[in-house]
């Protein structure tokens, strides 16, 4: 982190301590530290017992945690196939007709690549949207420093109870608290809009998250 002029992202317990919007640079194969280095968190993978379940309110499948999760802890990485934004636009039209949302724009600096979790991925494929989520997206760089290709890591925004459903905001916008954070504007689902990072709306999708602060529509 010092070499990249960024703050050390984690405390001794592996909890993120920088604000959302700032990049996380973890140690990698060129570092002399070992696997237990406190700056190796996302690369260790999922550390909690998670469970896929069928929701009862029409939201399809969801993910809940079987263990208590501490605030600011890494929970999972959004994993999928990396494709160009042009290919994502084509696939997005197909997914729209299916009512599915699997595309995540990698628009940390520019809208060039997208992660598609429809065919390749992990349990993050099943995480639902909420307008009041308990997970926050961070852009993470480990072996790769190409800012067009960050890894998408989900951290807990608050303590999460065992048995609670995990959610993140599919249309998250980070407040521009400083110059660095204005570069992050994560959009999930309907991809392929302007270079500013906003998804191109093909039709409004009703939100069923049930949060008191629900915006009523996903996009």
Residue 40 labeled ligand binder:
no
Residue 59 labeled ligand binder:
yes
Residue 51 labeled ligand binder:
no
Residue 214 labeled ligand binder:
yes
Tokens 């420093």, located at residue:
145
SS3 content of the chain, % helix, strand, coil (to 5): 10, 25, 65
Between strands 128-129 and 135-141, the pairing is unpaired
d(CA 82, CA 41): 22
Q: If 0-12 CB within 10 Å is exposed, 13-18 middle and 19+ buried, where does residue 1 land? A: middle
d(CA 135, CA 130): 9
Using DSSP's 3-state secondary structure scheme, residue 126 falls into: helix
Residue 138 near residue 180, CB atoms below 8 Å: no
Which structure tokens are listed for 137? 């997206």
Active-site positions read 78, 170
Residue 33 labeled ligand binder:
yes
Q: Where are the beta strands (DSSP E) in the chain?
A: 24-25, 50-54, 61-65, 74-78, 81-84, 103-106, 113-116, 128-129, 135-141, 151-156, 167-168
Please state the residue numbers annotated as binding site for Zn(2+): 27, 31, 33, 37, 131, 207, 209, 214
């Amino acid at each position: 982190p010092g070499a990249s002029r960024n703050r050390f992202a984690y405390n001794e317990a592996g909890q993120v301590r920088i604000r959302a919007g700032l990049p996380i640079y973890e140690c990698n194969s060129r570092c002399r530290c070992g696997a237990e280095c406190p700056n190796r968190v996302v690369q260790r993978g999922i550390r909690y017992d998670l469970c896929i379940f069928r929701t009862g309110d029409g939201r399809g499948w969801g993910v809940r945690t079987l263990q208590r999760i501490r605030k600011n802890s890494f929970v999972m990485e959004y994993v999928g196939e990396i494709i160009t934004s042009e290919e994502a636009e084509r696939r997005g039209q197909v997914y729209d007709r299916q009512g599915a949302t699997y595309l995540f724009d990698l628009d940390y600096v520019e809208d060039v690549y997208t992660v598609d979790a429809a065919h390749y991925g992990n349990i993050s494929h099943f995480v639902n949207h909420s307008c009041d989520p308990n997970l926050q997206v961070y852009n993470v760089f480990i072996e790769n420093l190409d800012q067009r290709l960050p890894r998408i890591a989900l951290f807990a925004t608050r303590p999460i109870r065992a048995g609670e459903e995990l959610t993140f905001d599919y249309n998250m916008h980070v407040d521009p608290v400083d110059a660095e954070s204005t570069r992050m504007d994560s959009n999930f689902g309907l991809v392929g809009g302007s270079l500013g990072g906003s998804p191109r709306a093909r039709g409004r999708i009703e939100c069923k998250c049930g949060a008191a602060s629900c915006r009523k529509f996903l996009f």
